[in-house]
């Protein structure tokens, strides 16, 4: 996080780069509540980035099939829920 905050002004000045949000994947855990601190930290990092940029960031991508409800409670605007929609992937031999 510190490196991102330090480099953000330089990254934002790049003419062909548009910073629109942040993404994280919490470590897998059978208890979705254990992912909450990870999501909270990214939400707080997003707020710091917005202060530096002087503008809101559109996306906060976090949460997967097992923890997306907690991610939404923590401010997710984008979730990845493929397993919840399509089921477990088939293992290839």
Question: What are the tens digits of pLDDT across the range 29-50?
Answer: 999 999 999 999 999 999 999 9
pTM greater than 0.75 (yes/no)? yes
In percent, the amount of the chain with pLDDT more than 70 equals 100
Q: What pLDDT is attached to residue 90?
A: 87
What's the rounded Cα separation, in Å, for the pair 12 and 80?
Answer: 26
Q: Cα angle at 40 between 36 and 43, to 5 degrees? A: 140
SS3 call for 77:
coil
CATH hierarchy code of domain 2-86: 3.20.20.10
Q: What pLDDT is attached to residue 91?
A: 86
Any idea where the domains of the chain sit in the sequence? 2-86
Q: What pLDDT is attached to residue 93?
A: 78
What's the rounded Cα separation, in Å, for the pair 79 and 64?
Answer: 6
92 pLDDT exceeds 90? no
Average pLDDT over residues 51-77: 97
């Amino acid at each position: 996080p510190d490196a991102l905050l330090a480099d953000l002004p330089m990254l934002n000045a790049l003419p062909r780069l548009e910073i629109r949000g942040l993404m994280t994947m919490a470590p897998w855990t059978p208890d979705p509540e254990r992912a909450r601190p990870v999501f909270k930290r990214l939400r707080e990092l997003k707020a710091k980035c917005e202060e530096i940029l002087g503008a809101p960031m559109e996306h906060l991508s976090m949460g997967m099939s097992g923890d997306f409800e907690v991610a939404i409670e923590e401010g997710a605007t984008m979730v990845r829920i493929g397993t919840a929609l399509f089921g477990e992937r088939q293992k290839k031999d």
